[in-house]
Amino acid sequence: MKDCLERVESALEIKNGVKDVESLDYMALPVGGKELYNSSLSIGNINLIAGRFKTLKEGIELREKFLNIALP
Amino acid sequence: MEQFALTYLKEVKELYEIYGKVKLAIIYAENFDPKQELYIAPINQLRSSLDHFFKAAAHPDDMEYELKEAKEHLDRAGYDAFEIFASNLGIIIVEKLNKYSTETLTTIFPDYYKIIKPKLIEIRANLGEIRKRKKTSVNGNNDSFNSYFSQIEVLLNFDKNVDYSIPALEEYHQKKLKEDIEIQKKAKKERQRDRFFNVVFVGIIAAIISGILVWAVTTHFQKSPTSSTTTNTTNSPVSR
């Protein structure tokens, strides 16, 4: 296991020049463009797990819409 | 080590209360989304929070810092879910009530103006605060998501009350519409009657004026031949 981790760390160092793996953060999730998700679970041509992420940009737009909507 | 484990467990148990609320907020946000879309921002924050929990477990010296960070990410996940939930539900409530007039709302659903509208304005102010805080990247223990969670329950309650009041609002709205149509019909009839009387009156006046003119002209021309005949008679050779 330790050997495996060392190899991953070494690969990262080669690819990105990262020496301390602990300093790495997750990559940001998509904020636009590729927001569709699905899986290989399907019956015929119907995908059983499919949907769409609401992107950060859309979330902000929704908030702004509520902040600016005229209340009756 | 045992002391560390106990402290860690105690701290994590305390955070579990916030996590439970954040989870509910995310579930509500997903379920009340008209498009049933999964919002990415809270998931992102939960992922970061998990990262700090593990780091806290692995590094006893940094436990306090890591758990503080974990809590901040949990709070941010809650804020993100709350933003989407409150925006969606607020828009849904406003759109449900938008078609009714102020008079209908005041008569049938006075709570809207007394309770719901002021609260919606307050929630909007809170969202503005969250937006401001995000821009300035200030987040701390004093502004726990706990204080916002109660507003989710309030919004859910409002939505339920609005749904309950819709049949009565619709009935009153339809009644008012019918009354308005009746009033418009009555006004139209009155306008038509007035126009008819105006036409008749103008017609009568025109007829009288025409009559007078015809009489005047006739009288004039009836007199004229007589006077010319008289002249002719006086100047005729017979009379001479």
Give the residue extent of every domain in chain A.
Answer: 2-68
pLDDT tier at A27, thresholds 50, 70, 90: low
pLDDT-based confidence at residue A10 (cuts at 50, 70, 90): confident
Q: Taking chain A, what is the end-to-end CA distance rounded to the nearest angstrom?
A: 63
Q: How far apart are the C-alpha atoms of B172 and B110, rounded to whole Å?
A: 14
- Per-residue pLDDT, B239: 45
Residue B76 lies in a domain: yes
Residue B160 has pLDDT above 80, yes or no: yes
CA atoms within 13 A on the CB side of B137: 0
pLDDT digits (tens, 9 = 90+) for B94-153: 999 998 999 999 999 999 999 999 999 999 988 888 877 766 655 444 466 777 888 888
Of residues B33, B90, B97, nearest to A54 (C-beta): B33
Lowest-confidence segment of A15-19, A27-31, B58-62, B68-72 by average pLDDT:
A27-31
Q: Residue B48 CA to chain centroid, in angstroms? A: 38
Question: What domain range is B49 assigned to?
Answer: 2-188
Label residue B34 by pLDDT band (50, 70, 90): confident
Report, as an integer, the average pLDDT of B16-38.
85
Inform me whether the pLDDT recorded for B235 exceeds 90. Answer: no
Is pLDDT at A55 greater than 70 in this prediction? yes
Does the complex come out with an ipTM higher than 0.90?
Answer: no
Residue of B nearest to A35 (CA): B40
| pLDDT, mean over chain B | 85
Which pLDDT belongs to residue B140?
A: 46
pLDDT of residue B141: 44
Q: At A19, phi and psi to the nearest 5? A: -100, -35
Question: What is the band of B214 on the pLDDT scale with cuts at 50, 70, 90?
Answer: very high
Q: What is the pTM of this model?
A: 0.70
Q: Provide mean pLDDT across the span B146-163.
A: 86
Report the percentage of chain B scoring pLDDT > 90. Answer: 55
Q: Is B124 in Cβ contact with A29 (below 8 Å)?
A: no
Is residue B220 situated within a structural domain?
Answer: no
- In 3D space, the residue among B83, B70, B65 whose CA is nearest the CA of residue B12 turns out to be B70
Which chain B residue has its CA at the smallest distance from A58's CA?
A: B39
Cβ–Cβ below 8 Å for A59 and B83: yes
Q: In this prediction, what percent of chain B has a pLDDT beyond 70?
A: 88
Distance (Å, rounded) from C-alpha B209 to C-alpha B203? 10
The reported pLDDT for the residue numbered A13 is 76
Percent of chain A with pLDDT over 70: 51
| Confidence band for B170, pLDDT divided at 50, 70 and 90 | very high
Assigned domain for B125 exists: yes
The full length of chain B comes to 240
Tokens 């401001």 appear where?
B132
Nearest-CB residue to A63 (from B35, B83, B120) = B83
Q: Chain B residue with minimal CA distance to A63?
A: B87
Q: What is the mean pLDDT of chain A?
A: 72
Strand pairing partners for A54?
B39
Stretch A18-46: mean pLDDT, rounded? 63
Considering its fold, how many domains does chain B have in total?
1
On whether residue B200 sits in a domain, the answer given is: no
Closest CA to B68 of B52, B81, B79: B52
Q: How far is B3 from chain A (nearest CA, A)?
A: 25
A54 backbone dihedrals φ, ψ, rounded to 5°: -85, 125
Confidence class for position A45, pLDDT limits 50, 70, 90: low
